[in-house]
Homo-oligomer: A and B are copies of this chain.
Amino acid sequence: MSERIILLGHGSGGRLSHRLIRDTIGRILGGDTLHAWADAAILPAMGAQLAFTTDTYVVQPLAFPGGDIGTLAASGTINDLAVMGARPSAMSCGLVIEEGFDLDALEAILRSLRRTADSAGVEIVAGDTKVVRRGDADGLYINTSGIGWLPEPSPLSVEPIRPGDAVIVSGAIAEHGAAVMAAREGLVTTLRSDCAPLAGMIARLLDRCRGVKFMRDPTRGGIATVLNEIVEGRPFGIRLREEAIPVSDAARGFCETLGLDPLYVANEGKVIAVVAAHDADRALDALRADPLGVRAARIGEVAADSPGIVVLETAVGGSRIVGMLAGDQLPRIC
């Protein structure tokens, strides 16, 4: 019944995106290494392991409280490498610029990108610039691809996850998506995007805590999407405690006003970690020692009694299933 065309929902990070990526893009392009939802590919390389990732950023507006498309493009690619356990090393920058774009605005964005990369010790080593006619793009799109190194094969994977493991988030959720939405609507709020490179915090977490089994940065589609990806087709589920999930008053109020569920709203400076229960406190301590992780919290557990699904125990004592995002919540958020 459905037309064979691309819908905005194909870009939402939810169910339609997954189907497009799995049934079309992954099926046609994918070999042994391409994994539909891994954040970076890991390639054996001359005795070490090379991580390789790509992301294109189409966020609108280009600047928002807490950052701009440059901060975002650098942070996102650095974080995709870091959550795979890699040390980010180098990055490329591919620009698609609309004719008529302001050169001073471009410079400001490139400076943000550089500053963010510098702060994570990542060098920008390759670039490409295309200009398209007025109306053939919306200002500026940036692709950043990145490479990083792992000293040995990464132990991080969904495979070792077991019931009882702790689910940890490194701070308050929904900040990026809410800040971008507010900026897009021209609303004056106290919301700020959380977009930041997490490589340093993640390196210290892995250093101090061997019980970390799996990490992902919950961007497009929010923590709900990442958690669903973890349990999909697995013999376990995840039980979340709503009260334990950190959400700022500003983000909560904004989401309530717009009828958005913060669980589905994008983050650009947070990590979800699944950690062996005995190491959960050590992981929290490691995260909280970093300025970017002060609000880290244990938000739930891996559970044997709900295979394949994510269940939220609500603040009022009920529970509900947190499914994969069905349609299109927030286009052009990243």
Q: Which residues in B have their C-beta under 8 angstroms from that of A106?
A: 6, 24
Interface centre among A25, A40, A110 (most CB of B within 10 A): A25
Tell me whether A46 is interfacial, beta carbon within 8 Å.
Answer: yes
In the complex, which range does the number of interface residues on chain A fall in? 35 or more
| In contact, B6 and A98 (Cβ under 8 angstroms) | yes
| In contact, B124 and A31 (Cβ under 8 angstroms) | yes
Instruction: Give the residue name and chain of the B residue nearest to A108 (CB).
Output: B28
Q: Which residues in B have their C-beta under 8 angstroms from that of A149?
A: 45-46
Instruction: Kindly provide the distance from the CB of A88 to the nearest chain B CB, expressed in whole angstroms.
Output: 13
The number of times this chain is found in the oligomer is 2
Q: Which residues in B have their C-beta under 8 angstroms from that of A24?
A: 103, 106-107, 110
Q: Which residues in B have their C-beta under 8 angstroms from that of A33?
A: 90, 123, 125
Interface centre among A31, A57, A98 (most CB of B within 10 A): A31
Instruction: Kindly provide the distance from the CB of A51 to the nearest chain B CB, expressed in whole angstroms.
Output: 9
Q: Which residues in B have their C-beta under 8 angstroms from that of A29?
A: 93, 110, 113-114, 124, 127
Q: With A24-B103, A28-B114, A132-B58 given, is the CB distance from A94 to B52 under 8 Å?
A: no
| In contact, A56 and B97 (Cβ under 8 angstroms) | no
The digit string for A93-124, where 1 denotes a CB below 8 A from any CB of B, is 11111111111101100110110000000011
| A134-142, A172-180, A226-234 - the one binding chain B | A134-142
Q: Which residues in B have their C-beta under 8 angstroms from that of A101?
A: 5-6
| Alpha-carbon distance between A90 and B132 when the two chains are bound, in angstroms | 28
| Alpha-carbon distance between A52 and B97 when the two chains are bound, in angstroms | 22
Tell me whether A50 is interfacial, beta carbon within 8 Å.
Answer: yes
The digit string for A35-66, where 1 denotes a CB below 8 A from any CB of B, is 00010110101111010111111100000000
Q: Which residues in B have their C-beta under 8 angstroms from that of A4?
A: 102-104
| Alpha-carbon distance between A131 and B93 when the two chains are bound, in angstroms | 19
| In contact, B111 and A28 (Cβ under 8 angstroms) | yes
Q: Which residues in B have their C-beta under 8 angstroms from that of A326?
A: none
| Alpha-carbon distance between A9 and B100 when the two chains are bound, in angstroms | 11
| In contact, B56 and A96 (Cβ under 8 angstroms) | yes
| In contact, B126 and A41 (Cβ under 8 angstroms) | yes
Tell me whether A309 is interfacial, beta carbon within 8 Å.
Answer: no
| In contact, A129 and B99 (Cβ under 8 angstroms) | no
Tell me whether A79 is interfacial, beta carbon within 8 Å.
Answer: no
